């Protein structure tokens, strides 16, 4: 029996077990305390076993981040599923963005962290709902037509991401600027929307 067949036999799917245990370690210890050896211990395999699926700890973190993008993207799409009005779609995307960052802080942090310049290929599709919402708002006259859609989408994203990071690090509370996600997004978009 091959090593990969043994792994599937004992664990059902070693790669999936490593990802699951890795998420647990990430939540408990953060990226700085993330250890491939600890993940292997939790799964009940040798410290060499994870290397059959992941080149190193960053490769496992990258795979966890890719899963995070999938969860994130699904959450964004669910937030706008039954909304047609462009302003409402932008607002719902913003609230979902902040909600995901609040609910999954460790995952959110590694999704947007640069680890040795490895690209986050799974991240780009999660940007598409925002680009489409910005384009629709621009067509409806709610956003300036003097700026390209990619530039506007990047700006909206930067504002939302900034709010998420400030909230996660306690900056908004520390300065007495914290509000509900609904209010934070509403205020941020009011600056941009016509």
pTM strictly above 0.95: no
Q: Which domain holds residue 112?
A: 57-192
Q: Name the domain count of the chain.
A: 2
At residue 174, the pLDDT reads 82
Q: Do residues 44 and 72 share a domain?
A: no
Q: Do residues 49 and 64 share a domain?
A: no
Q: Do residues 172 and 161 share a domain?
A: yes
Q: Do residues 81 and 149 share a domain?
A: yes
Q: Do residues 92 and 170 share a domain?
A: yes
Q: Do residues 8 and 99 share a domain?
A: no
Q: Do residues 66 and 147 share a domain?
A: yes
Q: Which of 54, 84, 99 is at the close of a domain? A: 54
CATH of the domain at 88: 1.10.357.10
> Using one digit for the tens of pLDDT, what is the confidence trace for 75-112?
999 999 999 999 999 999 999 999 999 999 999 999 98
Q: Do residues 137 and 169 share a domain?
A: yes
Each residue's pLDDT expressed in tens, for the chain with a length of 194 residues? 344 444 444 556 899 999 999 999 999 998 899 999 999 999 999 999 999 999 999 899 999 999 999 999 999 999 999 999 999 999 999 999 999 999 999 999 999 886 666 666 777 788 999 999 999 999 999 998 999 999 999 999 999 999 999 998 888 888 888 888 988 999 999 988 87
Rounded alpha-carbon distances, angstroms, from residue 185 to 43, 76, 93, 139: 40, 14, 9, 21
């Amino acid at each position: 029996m091959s090593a990969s067949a043994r792994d599937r036999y004992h664990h059902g799917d070693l790669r999936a077990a490593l990802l699951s245990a890795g998420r647990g370690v990430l939540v408990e210890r953060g990226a700085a305390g993330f250890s491939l050896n600890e993940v292997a211990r939790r799964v009940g395999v040798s410290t060499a076993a994870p290397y059959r699926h992941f080149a190193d700890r960053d490769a496992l973190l990258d795979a966890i981040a890719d899963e995070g993008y999938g969860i994130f993207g699904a959450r964004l799409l669910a937030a706008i599923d039954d909304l047609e009005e462009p302003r409402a779609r932008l607002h719902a995307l913003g609230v979902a963005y902040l909600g995901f960052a609040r609910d999954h802080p460790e995952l959110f942090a590694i999704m947007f962290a640069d680890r040795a310049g490895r690209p986050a290929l799974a991240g780009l599709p999660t940007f598409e709902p925002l680009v489409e919402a910005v384009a629709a708002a621009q067509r409806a006259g709610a956003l300036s037509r003097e700026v390209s859609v990619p530039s506007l989408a990047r700006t909206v994203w930067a504002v939302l991401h900034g709010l998420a990071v400030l909230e996660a690090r306690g900056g908004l509370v520390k300065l007495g600027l914290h509000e509900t996600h609904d209010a934070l997004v509403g205020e941020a978009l009011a600056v941009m929307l016509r």
